[in-house]
A and B are shown apart, each in its own frame.
Chain A
Amino acid sequence: DAGVTQSPTHLIKTRGQQVTLRCSPKSGHDTVSWYQQALGQGPQFIFQYYEEEERQRGNFPDRFSGHQFPNYSSELNVNALLLGDSALYLCASSPDGDEQFFGPGTRLTVL
């Protein structure tokens, strides 16, 4: 059984551009959460999706948006990129909303 997968692994963008990150959850997991992890810090909750609906949202601006597809995979979109958006973006899937399994992350660098 494959774990949580994320693509791409690394990404370099310039300020003002838009980016889309992708996540495939573990088989049987219907809940997907996204986190931003800056260097040397803990993951910061962005939002959580369940049954294709955003269920919870952290303190992130509307530039951060997402989507969950019928097969439970998910996308994170970030518009108008800022230098401060450079971070590791983590996706986590869950079978019950509590226990979370993280993917390896996408390293985003904004120049």
Chain B
Amino acid sequence: GENVEQHPSTLSVQEGDSAVIKCTYSDSASNYFPWYKQELGKGPQLIIDIRSNVGEKKDQRIAVTLNKTAKHFSLHITETQPEDSAVYFCAAKTNAGKSTFGDGTTLTVKP
């Protein structure tokens, strides 16, 4: 089955700096790669996603890149703010419908 690895597990940055979180996946049939932000006591919230026919996608301060050959994708957050502090999860999904999540990255943005 699919295996998704996420790094780093914790990330601390200064406000205004950039943050990068990386994920690798194993199943070449995966074609949908979402990123979620989870705050304490809440369910994951979709922040950006990318499909396998696209190499990069950007939404304001957030961008995601996908390298299908290497089977890895990354989340980039620029100009970080304290409210960006949360746990971030990547996931990979095939057409069959099953989503596999990484173990999460705890991002702390220091003011």
Q: Which residues of A contact B (CB under 8 A)?
A: 4, 33, 35, 40-45, 48, 55-56, 58-59, 90, 92, 97-105
Contact = CB atoms under 8 A, between A and B. Distances in A.
Contacts of B100: 45
Contacts of B96: 56
B89 interface: yes
21 contacts: A4-B43, A35-B101, A40-B104, A42-B4, A42-B6, A42-B104, A43-B101, A45-B98, A45-B99, A56-B97, A56-B98, A90-B43, A97-B97, A98-B32, A98-B34, A98-B49, A99-B46, A100-B99, A104-B42, A104-B43, A105-B42
Contacts of A48: 97-98
A110 B36 CA distance: 28
Contacts of A90: 43-44
Nearest to B36: A102
B contacts with A: majority SS: strand
Interface residues of B, number: 25
Interface of B: 1, 4, 6, 32, 34, 36, 41-46, 49, 89, 91, 93, 96-104
A98 B4 CA distance: 17
B44 A33 contact: no
Contacts of A41: 103-104
Contacts of A56: 96-98
Given A48-B98, A56-B97, A90-B44, A99 B34 contact: yes
A101 B99 contact: no
B59 to A, nearest CB: 14
A97 to B, nearest CB: 6
Contact of B89 (A43, A92, A97, A105): A43
Contacts of B99: 33, 45, 100
